Structures are given as structure tokens and as C-alpha cells.
Structure 1
Amino acid sequence: MDIRKITGEVFRFGIVGLLATALHYGIYYLLQNYIPVYIAYSIGYIVSFIANFYLTAFFTFRSVPSWKKMIGMGGAHAINYILHIMLLNLFLSIGIPNVWAPFPVFAIAIPVNFFLVRFVFKHQKL
């Protein structure tokens, strides 16, 4: 493995992750006062997933998007989504306000997601 290549992927993943996370949080923040928190969080997650997929394919891993990769990334994000909701529930239950609860979720779930998504985009059969 070329450490410079992986470092570049991590850096590009970070940029894409920041954009996707900002989109996710922005949607959540706008909706959380009008609809249930989990629905607002889920809508933000879905919209950011779509943007994240295309940015990840083209920019992070310099790959061509495909349905197989989208399904693979969808599987990785399904696992990640479950982690997000479990952590969100945990942080809300210990009293962290709705507005702030997503931040520790992001801090934990985003690194996990990198390894899941990297596997999808680097696996030779996809």
C-alpha cells in the first residue's frame, strides 16, 4: 500500500465528509424544530448520502460511479446510519440538546464510515 495514496484519499474523504456533514446538519437544523428529530436527522442523512456518493466516487477515490458501487456504499451507509441513530439516541438520552447532539455522533461515525466506504470503492469486483 502506498501511504501517500491513502493519505490523499483520507484528505479528500475529509473534504467530502465535511461537505456532506454540513449538508446533513444544515438540513437537520432547519427541520428539527418542525418535525420529529429522528425524521429530520434521517432526511438530512439521505440527502447528504446522495451528494456524498457522487463526490466520493469522482473526487475521493477518482472512480466512476456505478449502481453496484452505489448499492455497496448504501450497505456501508446502512450500517453507518444505524450507528448514527444509536449514538444520537444515546447522546439525546444523556441530556445533550437536540442542536448539539449530532456533533459527537459525527465524530465517532465518520471515521468508521471511511473504512466501510473505502472497502466498497477499492474492492476489485465492484
Structure 2
Amino acid sequence: MTSLLGKIARYGVVGLINTLVYYGAYLFLRGALPYLVAHLMAMVPAVIVSYFLNCRFTFRTRPSMRKFLLFPLTNITNFAGVTVFLYVLVEFFGMDQRTAPLLATVLAVPATFAVTQLVLTRTPSRSRAGAGGGQF
């Protein structure tokens, strides 16, 4: 149980850093693009930073090409959740486009943690381990 609490705490720290990366990119891009396009583009650097920080700090696992390639697919949970919450908060609740992504991100955290842990800590079977599983 202590190990899980440690992971959750580290995930929270990484999440805060990642949110700053995403939000900074979002605000920068929002100056020139519609808010949903800025959101989509800001996710790219956020996913990359999140991958490496979660590998090294949260789950203490070595980055690999296989995990790196799978990581964006698992972030579909986060991406979809944040996107839906962002749209609902802006369009239905009239929340400011500059602050809505922050609340949307918080609302998507529980599902994202579960999927991230699964992808980064699950060990592939021996027969598949050699294919595309090289270390960074």
C-alpha cells in the first residue's frame, strides 16, 4: 500500500509539472489559434514530458521504444477526458477558455493514472520482449 501511495504522490508531482508544460504551450498557441486547436497541439510536448518523467520518477522503470510508442495510445484516456471536460466546461458552463483546461485536467486524472501504470509497469511476454523493446 505504501508503494501505491508513493506512486500516486509522485504521479501528482509529475502531473503538476506536466500541467505547467501543457498550459504554457496552450496559452502560447491560443494567442494565434482557436482554443481546441491550441489544446490539441499543446498535448504533444505534454505527452513527451509526461512519458519520461513517469518512467523515471513515478514508476521507476526504464524508458523503452515499445513503451514510448504505446504511451500516446494510453494517453487517449487523458486526451479524451480532458477534451470532453474542456468542451463541457466552456460550452455548457461558460467557464473561461484560459482556466477551463486546468479543471478539465484534474477531472481526468484518476483514469489516466490507472492506464499509465498499466502501460509503464506491465512486462511484455518473453516471446514479444525482443521486438521493439529497445531501451532509450
Q: C-alpha distance in 2, partners of 1:120/1:39?
A: 27
Partner of 1:118: 117
Alignment check: 8 A CA contact 2:78 2:112 kept: yes
Which residue of structure 1 aligns with residue 133 of structure 2? none
1:123 positional shift: 1.1
In the TM superposition, 1:13-52 aligns within 5 A as 13-52=11-50
Which stretches of structure 1, 4 residues or more, deviate above 4 A after TM superposition?
Answer: none
Q: Give the TM-score of the pair, scaled to structure 2.
A: 0.85
Residue type at the aligned position of 2:115? L
What is aligned with 1:4?
2
Q: In 2, distance between residues paired with 1:8 and 1:80?
A: 21
Question: Given the alignment of the two structures, is residue 75 of structure 1 paired with residue 60 of structure 2, yes or no?
Answer: no
Distance 1:49 1:80 in 2: 10
Q: Is the 8 A contact 2:67 2:120 kept in 1?
A: yes
Deviation, structure 1 residue 39: 1.5
Deviation at 1:56, TM superposition (A): 0.6
Query: How far 1:72 moved relative to its partner?
Result: 2.5
- CA–CA separation in structure 1 for the residues paired with 2:69 and 2:47: 12
The CA distance in 2 between the partners of 1:70 and 1:79, in whole Å, is 16
- Establish whether residue 101 from structure 1 lines up as the match of residue 100 from structure 2: yes
Q: Distance in 1 between matches of 2:83 and 2:105?
A: 11
The answer to whether the Cα contact below 8 Å between 2:21 and 2:46 also exists between their aligned partners in 1 is: yes
- Superposed displacement of residue 121, structure 1: 1.4
The amino acid of 2:46's aligned partner reads: S
2:77·2:111 contact (CA, 8 Å) conserved in 1?
no
**How far apart are residue 109 of structure 1 and its match?**
0.8
Task: Indicate the RMSD between aligned Cα atoms, in angstroms.
Answer: 1.3
Rg (Cα) greater in structure: 2
Q: Match for 1:53 among 42, 51, 54?
A: 51
**Distance in 1 between residues matched to 2:81 and 2:12, nearest whole Å:** 19
Runs of 5+ unmatched residues, structure 2:
130-136
Name the aligned partner's letter for residue 112 of structure 2.
N
- Count of matched residue positions in the alignment of Structure 1 and Structure 2: 124
